Structure formats: C-alpha cells, structure tokens
Amino acid sequence: MNVLADFWNNYGGQIMDALGPHLFLTFVSLALGIIVAVPLGIFLTRNPRLASPIIAVVSIFQTIPSLVFFALILPFLGIGTQPALVVLFVYSLLPILRNTYIGVRSIDPALIDASRGQGMTSWEILYMVELPLSAPLIVAGIRLAAIYLVSWATIAALIGAGGLGDLIFSGIDNYDTNLLLAGAVPTALLALLIGFLLGMVRRLVTPRGLKVGVAR
C-alpha cells in the first residue's frame, strides 16, 4: 500500500492534470463521431448503393496507422488540440457507421413493410421501429469506438494535444518507468471503465421484448 501511496503522492497531480485533456479529446471526438456516423449510417440504409463505397473510404482511414495520420495532418492543421480532434474523430467513424448500417439493415424487411402498411411515416418507422431495434448494435459500435479513442488519444500528445500520452512519452524520453506507468496505467483503467459503462448502456437500451424468453 505504501508503494501505491508514494506513487500517488509523486504522480497524482500530473495524472489528474493530464486526465482532463485526455477525457476532453476522447469525448469530444466521440460525440462528433456519433453526430456524423449515426445519421450517415441511417442515410446509407436508405441509399444502399452508396453504402459500400462510403464504408470502404471510411475503412481506408481506419487502416492508416495513427502515428502516420497525425504526421500527415500536421502540415495542414498544425499542432494542438484541434488537429488531434480531427484525427480521432475520423477514427471513431468506422465502428459507429458500420454498426448503425448493419443494425438498421438487419431488421426483418417484413416488419418494416407491415409498419408502412399500418400507415407509419418513414420518420415514425425510424424512431419507433428501426432505432429501438438497432440501438443495442449502435451502442456496441459507440463502445468500441470509445475504447479505441482512449488509447489513440495518448498518441495525440505527440502533436501537443496533451493528455495522458504526455506522461507516457516523457517517461520514455527520460527513462522514467514510473512516469511512463503513471500515463499507461490510468489509460488502461480508463478504457476498461468506459467499456464497462457503455456495456451497461447497451443493456439498458436493449428492448425488453427482445430479452424475454420465448414461449413454447
């Protein structure tokens, strides 16, 4: 316990200082990702011919190593928080977009047809049928993106965006293992925590009618 207490005395302040920017980077880029990718995913279900090309383009971004991506964007947007947000936002797109698209597409077409036949508008079908039924998959995509973002946000320190990555890279530069751990361990814990919380959200949004046992 003593070791932990000492560790916290030495690094607690730095961790707490770094945590703020780190969470900021993670959640702002995630929020932007949700705002863009969920509507885009729904739009693609209405225009399935556009789906493969657009998802392919977004996938290409995903394959660029993050270090390279940060370097590529440097000449255009410079350093700091803004370019970091742009890169992280682009990374968040694919998991959310893909899960939204698949989630909405996987709904039984007969169900949509019957809903149309009852006289529901396409807007009503969206928020009364498609979104509730695909919510678990969409949230699963958001959860995946959030977990990625927590770790990728460490690399944003390289272009001066701050966050827990600062501690890791300073630790590496100065051969200071403790400082490195002060960045790495909270990052890992943060990823686990966010994964756990969003896992709970996923269970919350799963409609009860899909969870109940089947009669017979």
Partner 1 sequence: MGVKFEHVTKMYPGGRPAVNDLSLTVPTGELLVLIGPSGCGKTTTLRMINRLEEPSSGVISIEGRDIRSYDPIQLRRGIGYTIQQTGLLPHMTVEQNIELVPKLLKWDANKRHERTHELLELVGMSYETYAHRYPRQLSGGQQQRVGVLRSLATDPPVILMDEPFGALDPISREVLQNELKRLQARLQKTIIFVTHDIDEAMRLGDRVAIMRDGILLQVGTPDELLRTPKEEFIARFLGRYIVPHTAPLESIGQFMQTNMIAIQRELADGGRIVQIAETPLWFWLDGEGVLKRVAPALADGGNGWNSVEWAEEDIDCVGERDSAEDVLRRLADGETEALPVVDDRHRLIGVVSRRSVLKTLSNTGRVEV
Footprint of partner 1 (CB under 8 A): 108, 110-111, 113-121, 124, 128-129, 132-133, 207-210, 212-216
Q: Helix (H, G, I), strand (E, B), or coil: what is residue 161?
A: coil
CB of 58 to partner 1, least distance (A): 29
CB of 201 to partner 1, least distance (A): 17
CB of 118 to partner 1, least distance (A): 5
* 181/205 with CB nearer partner 1: 205
* 32/125 with CB nearer partner 1: 125
CA pair distance 14, 167, nearest whole angstrom: 8
* 68/216 with CB nearer partner 1: 216
The string of DSSP codes covering 35-65 is HHHHHHHHHHHHSHHHHHHHHHHHHHHHHS-
Task: Give the chain's largest Cα–Cα span.
Answer: 69
In terms of Cα–Cα distance, which of 30, 16, 63, 8 is closest to 162?
A: 16
* 75/117 with CB nearer partner 1: 117
CB of 43 to partner 1, least distance (A): 21
Proportion of the chain in helix, strand, coil states, percent, rounded to 5: 85, 0, 15
